[in-house]
Amino acid sequence: MAFTGDFTVEQITLSDVTVNDTSTGSDDTITTRRIYFRQYDNTTIVPEGVTTDYVEFPLDAGNSILIENLLLRDYALSIEVVWITPTPDPDGVYDVTKSYLFTYYSETFYYGLTQTQTSSPQIVNDTPYYKNKSLLRTLIDDADQSIRFGTDLYSAQINLNAAFFMMQNQLFYF
């Protein structure tokens, strides 16, 4: 059976992700795997200390690798995994790219606002507060739908950037 590369990515904490190799088939000539995390402008992000523009996913790591300190804010990313082999099978698939949205920072902040409301429910009557919270929700949802329905990294990142700005300036918004 020809090798067919595939993978999933899961955000474990604010900054850490796990990449799971869910490939089918086999190819003994594969020597290693590389993971590229690309933004909408094609620039790549890697954890601090990594000197390449990709994260190495060695075979001896097994089917899963935890990549720490990768996400220092929310991102919409095009993630590419490449299975390196000197003699690829023409029927196989060795290069797979998928789009992912990481909103842990925004959602955590947003959830924190809801926690605030449990102890100060009257705050929802503060018009700017709730209007801005509603805007934050919209930005997160827009980012989600940009990826889910359009695989549109640019639109998603624009929304995430706007949400990031609100969080950075929370004293003015909330």
Check residue 134 for interaction with another protein (CB under 8 A): yes
Give the CA angle between residues 152, 153, 154 to the nearest 5°: 95
**CA separation, residue 124 to residues 98, 104, 113, 114, 132 (Å):** 39, 23, 10, 10, 11
- DSSP letter for 160, please: H
- Report the distance separating Cα 115 and Cα 107, nearest Å: 12
Does position 122 bind another protein by CB under 8 A? no
* H and E: helices and strands count for the chain: 4, 7
Query: How far is residue 147's CA from residue 159's CA, in Å, rounded to a whole number?
Result: 11
| 119 part of the interface to another protein, by CB under 8 A | yes
Number of residues lying near another protein (CB under 8 A)? 16
Shortest Cβ distance from residue 60 to another protein (Å)?
A: 30
Binding another protein (rule: CB under 8 A), the pick from 118, 122, 171, 172 is 118
Tell me which of 20, 137, 142, 170 binds another protein, using CB under 8 A: 137
Complex with another protein: residue 42 or 119, whichever CB lies closer: 119
**Site for another protein contains 145 (CB under 8 A):** no
| Cβ count near 38 (within 10 Å) | 19
114 binds another protein (CB under 8 A): yes
Identified binder of another protein from the candidate list 7, 37, 133, 143, rule CB under 8 A = 133
Using the rule CB under 8 A, is 130 a contact of another protein? yes
- Residue number, 49 or 121, with CB nearest to another protein: 121
Burial status of residue 131 (CB atoms within 10 A of its CB: 0-12, 13-18, 19 or more) = exposed
Summarize as ranges the residues that interact with another protein (CB under 8 A): 107, 110-111, 113-115, 117-119, 121, 124, 130, 133-134, 137, 141
